[in-house]
Amino acid sequence: MTRVDPHSGEQRSSQRAGTRRRRLLRGRVDRTTIDSQIHRYQRRVQRFSKPIKMKDIEKEKPLKLMDLPPEIVTKMVEIALGAGGNIQFYRTGGHHSDGSNEIMIANHSWDGMHISTFSALRLVSKPMKAIADNSFFRHGVVEFEYLEELNMAFDRNIGRNFGDQLRAVSIWKFAYDGDPDGYGRMFENLITLPNLRRLIFYSRWETPSVQGSLPNNFENICITKYTIILDALLTVFMKLRLKYGKRGISIEFDADGNGAFAGHEEVVRRDFIAGRGPTVPLSPDQIKVKTKEINEMFNQALEARERVIHEQSIATIKEQLNGLKREEGKLNFSMETFRSFLDDS
């Protein structure tokens, strides 16, 4: 049965559209099964694609490490070598090929295995050797226990083999022994490093008494230590700053190098907790602030001493010029006297 819509003038079914749609969908569900759907998709796949045979698949060759982008290879090598950690050298007894009874031992501040990994990668190929050399030394600090270790390492060609890669050098335990020859050799060795940017000295940690230590005890220890360093190496520092420029090289005193400051405060903390000392230990953040302050004090002392040396040099030059002027005046007076004598004659 149909009826006419008075507004449109068209005949419309008495059945609503929603009812017709539900009946249509119900019929489709009855006719459609899972198997028919599977067969339908299989026919479509066969129509629009041809069979793929295994022999037609080209086998991809495995990718070599050095075929990767250089940035990725470098990053992988840096991770393997512990780039950013410190390389530590110290000497011990043993027979060396040069006939001496001392050998150099290398260690890594993160894991000693990085040393053997570095040695292994240098044997892979020349390109890998170059990447390993650059990655191993470029991002870390090369530490020497004493000044003698530094000079010994250079005698055994660390500068010749890795000089271009060394950026930062540190001396952990500096002891003033009044050996000008050793200080001179230190300068001659360091200036062979074209890319040297930092020279760092650490404070030797001395265990406080179990009776407790006074406030600012470690700061006073550091001041004593860097004063000894300035007394011994001021000339070396001035020559290095002259060669590399004051902004080209940073000469630093790291009070917390190798955890010295933190170790000191840990002992103070234990004494304070046990009631053996009244000194309140510094927090890690306070240690960082104080370490920075001590380094600034060291640099101010270096600048002051360097200024005194320059002023003394200028005063000496002025005195020499004044002496030459006095000699010139005497010479002029003698010439005038001689001329007067000739005129009278």
Place 189 in a pLDDT band, splitting at 50, 70 and 90.
very high
**76-80, 205-209, 220-224: least confident range:** 205-209
Q: What is the pLDDT of residues 316-338, one digit of tens each?
A: 888 888 777 777 676 666 666 65
Q: Can you tell me the mean pLDDT for 141-153?
A: 89
Q: What is the pLDDT of residues 85-119, one digit of tens each?
A: 899 988 877 666 666 778 888 899 888 899 999 99
Q: Can you tell me the mean pLDDT for 183-203?
A: 92
Q: How far apart are CA 280 and CA 339, in angstroms?
A: 84
**Residue 255: Cβ-neighbour burial (10 angstroms; 0-12, 13-18, 19+):** buried
Position 283 scores a pLDDT of: 94
Position 24 scores a pLDDT of: 61
Position 146 scores a pLDDT of: 87
Q: Can you tell me the mean pLDDT for 3-24?
A: 56
Position 99 scores a pLDDT of: 67
Position 327 scores a pLDDT of: 74
Place 341 in a pLDDT band, splitting at 50, 70 and 90.
low
Contact 171, 202 (CB under 8 A): yes
Confidence (pTM):
0.71
Contact 203, 176 (CB under 8 A): no
Q: How far apart are CA 311 and CA 306, in angstroms?
A: 9
Residue 295 has pLDDT above 70, yes or no: yes
Place 223 in a pLDDT band, splitting at 50, 70 and 90.
very high
Q: What is the pLDDT of residues 48-84, one digit of tens each?
A: 666 656 555 555 666 778 888 889 999 999 999 998 8
Place 225 in a pLDDT band, splitting at 50, 70 and 90.
very high
Position 1 scores a pLDDT of: 46
The DSSP result for 248-316, as a single string, is T-EEEEETTGGGHHHHHHHHHHHHHHHTS--PPPPPHHHHHHHHHHHHHHHHHHHHHHHHHHHHHHHHH
Q: How far apart are CA 311 and CA 204, in angstroms?
A: 33
**28-42, 74-88, 152-166, 300-314: least confident range:** 28-42
- Mean pLDDT estimate for the chain: 81
Position 2 scores a pLDDT of: 47
Q: What is the pLDDT of residues 232-276, one digit of tens each?
A: 999 999 999 999 998 999 999 999 998 899 989 988 898 889 888
Q: How far apart are CA 30 and CA 13, in angstroms?
A: 25
